[in-house]
Amino acid sequence: MFDQPTDAPATLGAPYEGFATIREVGPLGMIALRCAQDAPALGPALRAAAGAGLPGQRRIAVNGARAVAWMSPDELLLMLPVAEAAAALEGLSQALSGTHHLAVEVSDARCVFRIEGAKADQVLRKLCPADLDRMAADEIRRTRAAQVACAFWREGDGFTLVAFRSVAAYVRGILTNAARPGSELSG
């Protein structure tokens, strides 16, 4: 989904080439949706807005450049091309009009990074308290990267990580530091 370079201007600089490649992805449309996940209208609303259905607990459903990620028992994160976010938000509001919900575009409040390469997992092993060996291909993890909240999932030859934009420079710094040549994990 996010493994292709974008034409968007980099807010934090060029990709970093260490033993893993770190690059910022953007812009990306994101909608935070709080709603009971057993609401009858939810599945069709998600498919219409993001082209993916309701993911299971701690899962992400990806369909091309669109995804729906489980964030908590009553929260989902929809990701799609930024140009489609406003229309998707309007469509969700209409489709869920009879259902108690809150849908908010959070595109500007999040940053997204790709960690790529054969040793991409080592970057996250240094920063996140997560057992990557047991992580399923369609699993999303909400955790911490050093001192900040984040979520990440496997994709292609690496991982995609989402954090708050207010800490984007810090996240880039810890990711690039963890990917410095010569700092690979042993054994």
pLDDT at 13: 78
As a whole number, mean pLDDT of residues 13-39 equals 94
Taking the alpha carbons of 160, 163, 166, 170 in that order, is the dihedral positive or negative? Answer: negative
Which residues does 153 contact at the CB level (< 8 Å), separation at least 6? 60, 69, 138, 139, 140, 141, 159, 160
For residue 28, pLDDT beyond 50: yes
- Name the 3-class secondary structure at 153: strand
Q: What is the mean pLDDT of the chain?
A: 92
Q: pLDDT tens for residues 154-178?
A: 998 899 999 999 999 999 999 999 9
The reported pTM is 0.91
Q: What's the CATH architecture for 16-26+109-178?
A: 2-Layer Sandwich (3.30)
Give span(s): CATH 3.30.1360.120, the chain: 16-26+109-178
| Crossing angle of the two packed helices 42-50 and 85-95, in degrees rounded to 10 | 160
* Numbered ranges of CATH 3.30.70.1520 in the chain: 29-108
User: In whole angstroms, what is the distance from residue 187 CA to residue 183 CA?
Assistant: 13
Taking the CB of residue 150, how many other CB atoms lie within 10 A of it?
21
Right CATH for 29-108 from 3.30.70.1520, 3.40.50.1000, 3.60.21.10, 3.40.50.720? 3.30.70.1520
